[in-house]
Amino acid sequence: MSDPVRLSRRVADLARCSRGEAEQYVKGGWVRVDGRVVEDPQHPVGGEAVEIDPAARLETVEPATILLHKPVGYDTISGPEPAARLVHPATRWDADGSGVRLLQRHFQRLTPLVPLDRDASGLMVLTQDGRVWRRLTEDGDEIEQEFVVEVSGEIAPYGLHRLKHGLSYGGRTLPPCKVSWQNEIRLRFAIKGVQGGQLRDMCAQVGLGVVAIRRLRIGKVSLAKMPVGAWRYLPVGERF
């Protein structure tokens, strides 16, 4: 049995390429060890069979951003039931049209962003990309979010007008937002800088109970028809 060497070295010998190029092949998920994809260039190999995918391309592996349709009962940023645990290869949306190749490294060090109440469902963002992190944290209060809120009860006189402008929450006067009836029991909110519990409290101030809350959009990125519990990649070129 041969002495173990780094996988990148074995790949460099097989492909007759530089060690740096070999590492790109490995990190890109193009290399199998005894039939199993290994993405760690430092992985030790001895007598195992090492194969390079014939379709292998030299390309930089970009950090991933994942969009999840969070179900009710899961936590976004912190809590006992993190929604991040729902993100794994088996739950990727079948209709994901991002063109991003699935890699195991995409599920490591994902940071959840843009809080969403535990009792709400809808679009959630998890990222490895510092650019996305900065956009959604530093500019977060300036990015419009869209929600559909199912309500019960009778709205107070001038209630719709007050929802748009005239309410306060957490001791501060709320800035104007866009609110309209989607149908007899659903309100659509387009709002910036929304805080935890705010939508439920706003509705209560005009006499409405909240049955369900679903986030449809963050900036220019929408939930679309992605089913509950599924996720897709944010493709190159799609911006919040």
Task: Look at residue 23 and tell me whether its pLDDT is greater than 60.
Answer: yes
The predicted pLDDT at position 164 comes to 97
- DSSP secondary structure of 37-85: E---TT-EESSS-EEE-TT------PPPEEEEEEPTT-BSSSSSSBGGG
State residue 155's pLDDT score.
97
pTM for this prediction? 0.88
Residue 1 pLDDT > 60? no
Give yes or no for a contact between 70 and 124, defined as CB atoms under 8 angstroms apart: yes
Q: How confident is the model at residue 35 (pLDDT cuts 50, 70, 90)?
A: confident
Interval 167-188: pLDDT, tens: 999 999 999 999 999 999 999 9
Mean pLDDT across the chain: 94
Which domains can be identified in the chain, with CATH numbers?
Answer: 5-52 (3.10.290.10), 65-140+221-233 (3.30.70.580), 144-218 (3.30.70.1560)
Is residue 196 classed as helix, strand or coil in its secondary structure? coil
**Conformation bin of residue 29: beta by default, left when phi > 0, alpha when psi is -120 to 50:** left
Return the sign of the alpha-carbon dihedral for residues 38, 39, 41, 42. negative
The residue whose two tokens read 């049995």 is: 1
H/E segment holding residue 168 = strand 168-169
pLDDT in tens, 117-148: 999 999 999 999 999 999 999 999 999 999 99
β-bridge partners, 189: 147, 179
The C-alpha atoms of residue 129 and residue 149 are separated, in whole angstroms, by: 31
